[in-house]
Structure 1
Amino acid sequence: MTSRPNILLVVADDHAVNAVGCYPGAHQVTPQIDRVAVEGMRFDACGCTNSLCAPSRATILTGTYNHRNGVTTLSTEFDNRQPTFPELLRDAGYRTALFGKWHLGHGEPHDPRGFDTWEVLPDQGDYVDPEFLLPDGSSHVRPGYATDLITDLSLDWLDSVSGGGDPWCLLVQHKAPHRPWVPAERHRDLFTDGFKPPRTFFDDYEGRATAAREARMRVARDLNLEDLKEEPPTGLDEEQHARWALDRYLADYLRCVVAVDESVGRLLAHLDASGQADDTVVVYTSDQGFFLGEHGWYDKRFMYRESLESPLLVRYPRLVPPGSTTDALVLNVDFAQTFLELAGVDPLPRMQGRSMVPLLAGEDPVEVGWRTESYYRYWEHLDGSHHVAAHRGIRTHDRKLVHYYGSGCGQPGASEQTTEVEWELFDLVADPEEMRSVYDDPAYADDVRTLTAALDRLATELGDDIPEPTHPPTTKAGRP
């Protein structure tokens, strides 16, 4: 690297690994996004530290876990007085901009800071004719489809800074493919042939903690008319209804993904046409993973693989070998320090991630001493919509230990004074789909002891504790 690169970070919302074509077994709907992997690196074990939109975005910006940045749930807002990587880049001479979803609160001290300009959706925003908030406190409605508009704003800004000599950092943060999955009009006729259900679609939730059985995010039961866009046909039996709902859900979800893929193609074409491709770090990711019918679910929140893991693709021709992959356990808390190192800017002591630059350069994770265990915590206990129990856990390459520590776990209607602590342990080699907990299996007793101690050690090292879980208010601000 002979000069400071530009940085283009594209963050989708709820884009599952299984809907990014370059990943094994995924739906093949993202040729432009896949191009980033073909010309760069695909990360096969990128996790989030808390599988919720707002907490994940706060972690990406600050390089800190949620107990440090303060955004633990959907209803806790971001204090913009804490430092972020875009602010540090701007102080170092970068031009910076943000367009799209923010979802970290509005007004002071919650608006985006550290950007030369920004234009963001209020809260979740709308897919069609969305309102955008502006730095001067005003807002306006832009006619069109949100994914296209966010891309238009991004390209216009890139045109405005081209030829200026200073490096730039642009955050393109899409609403799509977030619920309620409203596709662009041009994509409404895609994917009408139906889908093969995932192997775990008809999961009975036996062999795991009661949290799995009691979550309210089943495709066959919990999607509403706004999600499905039409009433189900009459005369369907239970299995037929489940398959019909899955087809409706996946069709609209993937239609929204196609628009995001087109957006990435437009951005890549601009870099090519402007001669900036070799000097730009292109990163494609999502704020967390998402269930596409696995275990019968939509949404995220759990520490199960489909929710925990996010796509992460990085292209930078001056550093990253094309077509490379890594199974290193990286996290979204690592992004900030990675961007700062690429830009030659020192990270802050409060940051808790680690720069992925050695991995991007093709170095062996073992030789660079990369982490072999990662820490997760979901704080929003038994929220009114999805009813997922608060939990924390530790993941290694071959094991996952999950601790459901919240009051009332497994107790429908229980008082908050009732506590049922539950644990799960998964052998990720023998059971990669996480269908059976082996926590009580005597053959895994040593794993339980080792990982329980490691979980407590990680929490101590990171400065986290285990308070009572947060019960968020069921208000619009806290709506998923």
Structure 2
Amino acid sequence: MKRKITLASLLALTAFVVFASFSCKNDSNKATNEEESQEKPNIIYVMADDLTIQAISAYGGIYKDIAPTPNIDRLANEGMLFEDVLCTNAICGPSRASILTGDYSNVNGYYKNESGGKFDASKWTFPQEFQKNGYQTSLFGKWHLGSEPKGFDVFKYHNSAGQQGHYWDPVYNENGKDVKETGYSSNLTTNFALNWLENQRDKSAPFLMLLQYKAPHRPWEPDHKYEKLWEDVEMPYPVTFNDDYKGRELTAGDTEMTVDFFSRRDMKLKSPDSLEGKERLAWEFYGAKPGELVQPEGMSYQDGRKWRYQNFIKDYLACVKSVDDNLGRVLDYLDKNGLTNNTMIVLTSDQGFYLGDHGFFDKRFIYEESLRMPFIVRFPKMVKPGSVNHDIISNIDFAPTFMDIAGINTDHEVQGKSFKKVLQGNTPEDWQQAMYYHYYEFPYWHHVQPHYGIRTPQYTLAHFYYNIDVWELYDREKDPNELHNIINDPQYSNVVEHLKEELKGLMKQYGDDESLADFRKITDKDFGLIVDKPDGETSVRDIVNKNNTRK
């Protein structure tokens, strides 16, 4: 028997279908509706520690085929890759302070890591401004500034080893309370971030999240699954690996950050079971001062250099691989929850890093490998996919740019300038053509002379001044590897004169035009420790005891 379909039943059926369709669509796109109802963009700021351009395959380089970074590359393919983002003071804490405040070290007061004290928590920072303007704010991972973070609704940062943190089973400060976690730090930090995104934030409000990895900072401890990733591979050597420092003997040639200064701990050598406490630390850090060389017995010096480099570079790149993996987890979350279009995600570091370039590891110098910061931005609403930018931008420009993009106005003035128009593909005609640099710390760590300088699209001019008086000039168009100091070349006399005048103007502009004697006082001043050290506790510096080797 056929059922008779009435007009009323037909209308009811139609209403049901429409409702069901809408409900399914609403369930599958619930985060899309959150995104569409939200005018202000979300911002995720991802910063790895000591991550350098040479380790990112999107930038090219000698490791791109051996150790690719597919998730970072995805950001570049879907956003803008910056080739000339520069650090104003190439060392962890001071760079972080400049990023947060939009000001140079002489204004924010945080000059150096060693004896640099704590970051002044009363200073203005951009997260505080976001928080005041209705953003939910969070921080996960490495803080490394001593004082308690301000401007965050939620924070969970590394709080062991002088806030350097540990790769395995680290201690975090979670909203004021220390918590020991079990696992690998890059994975854990991402877990905390994703949990906050999914379960803790108010999804009706925009958010700012700082996701800051410890990796790939020293001591370069990979996740177990990557410990032997390139066991049978000989990594390529940088073209400047055997730099002889000719013409730069008192600067590049007088450091303690060449591959000769890797310690037993860096090389992952296991200390004797009989050693404990200070004795164990002294054994592990052997190799970190002159006259101590770590390599297998009977190995030649040159083969030892290669052996140390191979151990280091494989561990470093394996740490980067975990950062790349975890960035992929964040990108997947944004995609699955409809947050991609309205979220600006930034990938950067606190400065660059030497991966055997000039025979170095670490950072600090105005030379390119430590000066240039990786910087990639994806923001579909604003940034053209696959675009590349070559404008000079510095880390003090980050804070005003983020606020500009979020539409946040403030009466507080910073030294940096917004590059929102650069992200839109419209670089202003009057955009900066030079950047001022100043590094203060000496002699700990690595015995790099304090220096200031100017970096333009073509030239790098620097003055090393602590207990020497040395100027260096590099024409990077002719000498991209900065091997030839041409400061005394008569062909460049006019260039030197012009650059020194421009440098003088920048120093005055940024209020850092004190005398050399005043600069030396900053280097000599003990601003205190980043964390309070209990009486009688011995620091790594005390163990290394460099006072016995250099003055």
Same fold (TM over 0.5): yes
How many angstroms apart in 1 are the aligned matches of 2:181 and 2:357?
Answer: 36
Residue 326 of structure 2: aligned partner? 263
Aligned equivalent of 1:13, options 46, 49, 71: 49
1:99 — aligned with what?
140
Alignment equivalent of 1:387, drawn from 441, 447, 463:
447
Note the 1:95-244 alignment, pairs <5 A: 95-105=136-146, 110-122=147-159, 123-136=163-176, 138-161=177-200, 164-192=203-231, 193-208=233-248, 210-219=250-259, 221-230=260-269, 232-244=295-307
8 A Cα contact 2:440 2:519, kept in partner: no
Q: TM-score, normalised by structure 2?
A: 0.81
Shift in Å, 1:476? 8.2
Q: C-alpha separation between the residues in 2 aligned to 1:160 and 1:61?
A: 27
Task: Tell me the SS of whatever aligns to 2:519.
Answer: coil
- Pairing 1:66-465 to 2, within 5 Å after superposition: 66-74=105-113, 75-105=116-146, 110-122=147-159, 123-136=163-176, 138-161=177-200, 164-192=203-231, 193-208=233-248, 210-219=250-259, 221-230=260-269, 232-363=295-426, 365=427, 367-383=428-444, 385-406=445-466, 408=467, 420-465=468-513
Aligned equivalent of 1:24, options 60, 66, 69: 60
The counterpart of 2:519, out of the listed 464, 468, 471, is 468
Specify whether residues 186 and 472 from structure 1 end up closer, same or farther in structure 2 by C-alpha distance, changes over 3 A only.
farther
CA contact (8 A) 2:99 2:398 kept: yes
Q: 1:132-152 CA deviation, whole Å, 9 max, x = no partner?
A: 11333x201000011111000
Letter in 1 for 2:457: H
Q: What code does the residue aligned with 1:22 have? A: A
CA contact (8 A) 2:89 2:439 kept: yes
Tell me the SS of whatever aligns to 2:137: strand
Does the Cα contact within 8 Å between 1:11 and 1:286 map onto a contact in 2? yes
What whole-Å deviation, never above 9, does each CA across 1:435-467 have from its counterpart, x for those lacking one? Answer: 011000010001111111111110101111342
- Amino acid across the alignment from 1:376: Y
Equivalent residue letter for 1:462: Y
Q: Distance in 2 between matches of 1:163 and 1:468?
A: 47
Cα distance in 2, alignment partners of residues 226 and 287 from structure 1 = 24
Q: Which moved more, 1:156-165 or 1:244-253?
A: 156-165
Aligned to 1:411: none
Q: Give the structure 2 partner of residue 51 of structure 1.
A: 90
Aligned-pair CA distance for 1:100 = 0.7
3-state SS, counterpart of residue 46 of structure 2: strand
Q: Taking structure 1 as the reference length, what is the TM-score of the superposition? A: 0.93
Q: Choose 444-453 or 232-241, whichever is displaced more.
A: 232-241
Q: Tell me the CA shift for residue 32 of structure 1.
A: 0.5
CA 1:336–1:269: 2 relative to 1, 3 Å: same
Cα distance 1:23–1:423, how it changes in 2: closer, same or farther (>3 A)? same
Larger radius of gyration: 2
Separation in 1 of the partners of 2:525 and 2:446?
A: 12
The 3 A distance-change label for structure 1 pair 241 and 347 is farther
Contact 2:136/2:201 (CA < 8 Å) preserved in 1?
A: no
- AA paired with 2:326? S
CA distance in 2, matches of 1:451, 1:124: 38
Q: For 1:479 and 1:275, how far apart are their aligned partners in 2? A: 47
**Structure 2 vs 1, CA of residues 23 and 348 (structure 1 numbering), >3 Å: closer, same or farther?**
farther
> Which residue of 2 is the match for residue 413 of structure 1?
none
Shift of 1:382: 2.0
How many residues matched?
459
How far residue 56 of structure 1 moved from its aligned partner, in angstroms, is 0.5
CA shift at 1:475, angstroms? 7.0
Give the aligned CA root-mean-square deviation in angstroms: 1.7
What's the secondary structure of 2:138's corresponding residue? strand
**Shift of the alpha carbon at 1:81?**
1.0
CA displacement 1:161-198 (0-9 Å, x = unmatched): 56621100000010000000011111111122121111
Q: Specify every segment of 5 or more residues in structure 1 that has no aligned partner in the other structure, as ranges.
A: 409-419
Structure 1 residue 337 displacement after superposition: 0.5
With over 3 angstroms needed to count, the CA separation of the structure-2 counterparts of 1:209 and 1:255, relative to structure 1, is same
| AA partner of residue 119 (structure 2) | F
3-state secondary structure, aligned to 1:210: coil
Deviation at 1:317, TM superposition (A): 0.2
Change (3 A) 1:340 1:255: same
| C-alpha distance in 2 between matches for 1:375 and 1:214 | 24
The answer on whether the counterparts of 1:209 and 1:424 sit within 8 Å (CA) in structure 2 is no
- Equivalent residues of 1:70, 1:76 under 8 A apart: no
Q: Report SS of the residue matched to 2:187.
A: helix
1:4 paired with 2:55, answer: no
In structure 2, the CA distance between the partners of 1:172 and 1:432, relative to structure 1 (3 Å rule), is same
The letter for the 1-side match of 2:298 is G
Native 8 Å contact 1:382 1:471 kept in 2:
no
Matched residue type, 2:118 = E
Offset at residue 368 of structure 1 (A): 3.4
CA contact (8 A) 1:94 1:166 kept: yes
- How many angstroms apart in 1 are the aligned matches of 2:489 and 2:119? 42
Q: 2: CA distance between counterparts of 1:335 and 1:170? A: 14
Cα 1:346–1:449 change in 2 (3 A) is same
Cα deviation digits, residues 217-236 of structure 1 (max 9, x gap): 011x1000111113633322
Partner residue in 1 for 2:77: 38
* 5+ residue gaps, structure 2: 1-35, 270-293, 532-538, 542-551
1:435 and 1:348, CA in 2 relative to 1: closer, same or farther beyond 3 A?
farther
**Contact 1:209-1:422 within 8 A present in 2 as well:** no
Give the corresponding residue for 2:18: none
